[in-house]
């Protein structure tokens, strides 16, 4: 038995990188296991075929998840150590989606940054929100995949990481990856968003090694991402500044909604916590409660 890393997924077929560096195609044994990009898998060759067979998945260090329409948890990628949320002036940023990705990163225990792409466009309207993320302690990098401005900073952030790049469709994720790859490397296969229309969608994602170091996973745009949380009470763990303030709430089981002596609410009122981030937190709590009730 050999081990391999899943580097691309196309429905039930996968592309693997074997320990010796060879890349091969593979099928999956049975219907029970669902490998994703970043997984370490056990594989064996299939006689008289070029395909290999995936027989098992090694325990995951972490997984990026989301609930699907049928109330099940879908895993988008595994074994990551960094998350890059890309936003841009166009399409118009949805900061609530940014917060939900950052929430997912916190709960996975991985660091994250916000990359503001298309810095060649007018970005003045977005300065305020970007500063909010910087103040909370996230890396914030402005860049343009078009002009190359700031791309070196993205390169530096990535150099030592196995990162997933996420964000609304059209913000420039694939363009950033292609710019990082440079001219001499084959351009990445376009990750299709089209299959997103149906309910029984297949996630097609790909893991790309960067010449400057690091590995990045590109995944299709998810229109309205939310992480799958075990319970609404852990939502506060996904918001750094709320998690920190919560230590000073009067009640240990404070939900930071209407309880007296809530340090989170106090800091919202004083402006130390962004009201929009707090709103994000409340939405995350509501969404998780709706999911638990099967109402999503
Ligand atoms: N003006 C500008 N356009 C960009 C930039 N980066 C990407 N784009 C354009 O934005 C569109 C979406 O880019 P793409 O990389 O496919 O986005 P993805 O869906 O996030 O992978 C394309 O038309 C790109 O040419 C940039 O830095 N500046
Ligand atoms: Mg793309
Ligand atoms: Zn509280």
What pLDDT tens digit does each residue of the chain (296 aa) get? 799 999 999 877 899 999 898 999 999 998 889 999 999 999 999 999 999 999 999 999 999 998 877 778 889 999 999 999 999 999 999 999 999 999 999 999 999 999 999 999 998 999 999 999 999 999 999 999 999 999 999 999 999 999 999 999 899 999 999 999 986 454 444 454 444 333 333 447 899 999 989 999 997 766 678 888 888 889 999 999 999 999 999 999 999 999 999 999 999 999 999 999 999 999 999 988 888 787 65
Q: Which residues pair with 44 in a beta bridge?
A: 53
pLDDT score of 222: 66
232-292 to CATH, choices 1.20.1740.10, 1.10.40.50, 3.30.1330.40, 2.40.50.140? 1.10.40.50
pLDDT score of 201: 38
State yes or no: cis peptide before 91, omega within 30 of 0.
Answer: yes
Report the residue among 121, 144, 145, 190 best suited for mutation to probe ligand 1: largest number of ligand atoms under 8 A from its CB: 145
Rounded-to-integer distance, Cα 15 and Cα 7, Å:
6
Q: How far is the CA of 270 from the centre of ligand 3 (A)?
A: 14
Buried (b) or exposed (e) across 30-40, using 16+ Cβ within 10 A? Answer: eeeeebbbbbb
Q: How far is the CA of 233 from the centre of ligand 1 (A)?
A: 37
Q: Whose CA is nearest to atom 1 of ligand 1?
A: 118
Q: How far is the CA of 8 from the centre of ligand 2 (A)?
A: 14
Q: Count of CB atoms within 10 A of residue 14's CB?
A: 25
pLDDT score of 200: 34
Ligand closest to 255 (CA) is 3
pTM flag (> 0.85):
yes
Atom of ligand 1 nearest to the CA of 145: 27
Q: Please, are residues 138 and 241 in contact by the beta-carbon 8 Å criterion?
A: no
C-alpha distances out from residue 229 to 63, 66, 74, 109, Å: 12, 8, 12, 14
pLDDT score of 295: 64
Buried (b) or exposed (e) across 267-293, using 16+ Cβ within 10 A? Answer: bbeeeebbeebbebbeebbebbeebee
Question: Dihedral, CA atoms, 53, 54, 56, 60, nearest 10 degrees?
Answer: 170
Domain spans, the chain: 2-57, 63-218, 232-292
Report the residue among 85, 170, 179, 196 best suited for mutation to probe ligand 1: largest number of ligand atoms under 8 A from its CB: 170
pLDDT score of 278: 97
Atom of ligand 1 nearest to the CA of 168: 20
3-state secondary structure of 236: helix
Q: Please, are residues 90 and 123 in contact by the beta-carbon 8 Å criterion?
A: no
Give me the CATH code for the 2-57 domain, please. Answer: 2.40.50.140
Hey, what CATH class is 63-218 in? alpha beta
Residue 155 parent element (H or E): helix 151-158
Q: Please, are residues 12 and 203 in contact by the beta-carbon 8 Å criterion?
A: no
With a Cβ cut-off of 6 Å, ligand 1 is lined by 117-118, 120-121, 144-146, 167, 169-175, 221
Q: Which residues pair with 186 in a beta bridge?
A: none
Atom of ligand 1 nearest to the CA of 218: 21
Q: How far is the CA of 170 from the centre of ligand 2 (A)?
A: 7
pLDDT score of 172: 94
State the sign of the Cα–Cα–Cα–Cα dihedral 72, 173, 91, 89: positive
Q: How far is the CA of 148 from the centre of ligand 1 (A)?
A: 12
Q: How far is the CA of 169 from the centre of ligand 2 (A)?
A: 7
pLDDT score of 183: 66
Q: Token pair of 115, please?
A: 């990359």
């Amino acid at each position: 038995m050999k081990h391999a890393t899943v580097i691309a997924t196309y429905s039930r077929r996968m592309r693997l990188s074997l320990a010796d560096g060879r890349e091969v195609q593979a099928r999956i044994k049975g219907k029970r296991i669902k490998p994703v990009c970043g997984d370490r898998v056990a594989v064996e060759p299939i006689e008289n075929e070029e395909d290999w067979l995936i027989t098992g998945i090694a325990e995951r260090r972490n997984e990026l998840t989301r609930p699907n329409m049928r109330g099940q948890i879908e895993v988008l990628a595994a074994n990551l150590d960094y998350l890059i949320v890309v936003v841009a002036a166009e399409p118009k940023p949805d900061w609530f989606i940014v917060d939900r990705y950052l929430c997912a990163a916190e709960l996975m225990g991985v660091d994250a940054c916000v990359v503001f792409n298309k810095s060649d466009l007018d970005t003045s309207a977005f300065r305020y929100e970007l500063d909010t993320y910087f103040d909370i302690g996230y890396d914030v990098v402005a860049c343009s995949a078009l002009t190359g401005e700031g791309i070196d900073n993205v390169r530096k952030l990535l150099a030592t990481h196995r990162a997933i790049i996420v964000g609304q469709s059209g913000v420039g994720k694939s363009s950033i990856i292609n710019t990082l790859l440079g001219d001499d490397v084959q351009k990445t296969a376009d990750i299709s968003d089209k299959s997103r229309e149906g309910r029984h969608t297949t996630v097609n994602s790909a893991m790309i090694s960067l010449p400057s170091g690091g590995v990045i996973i590109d995944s299709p745009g998810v229109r309205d991402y939310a992480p799958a949380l075990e319970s609404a009470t852990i939502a506060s763990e996904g918001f750094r500044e709320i998690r920190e303030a919560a230590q000073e709430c009067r009640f240990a089981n404070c939900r930071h909604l209407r309880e007296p002596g809530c340090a989170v609410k106090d800091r919202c009122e004083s402006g130390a916590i962004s009201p929009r981030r707090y709103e994000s937190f409340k939405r995350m709590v509501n969404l998780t409660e709706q999911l638990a009730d099967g109402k999503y």
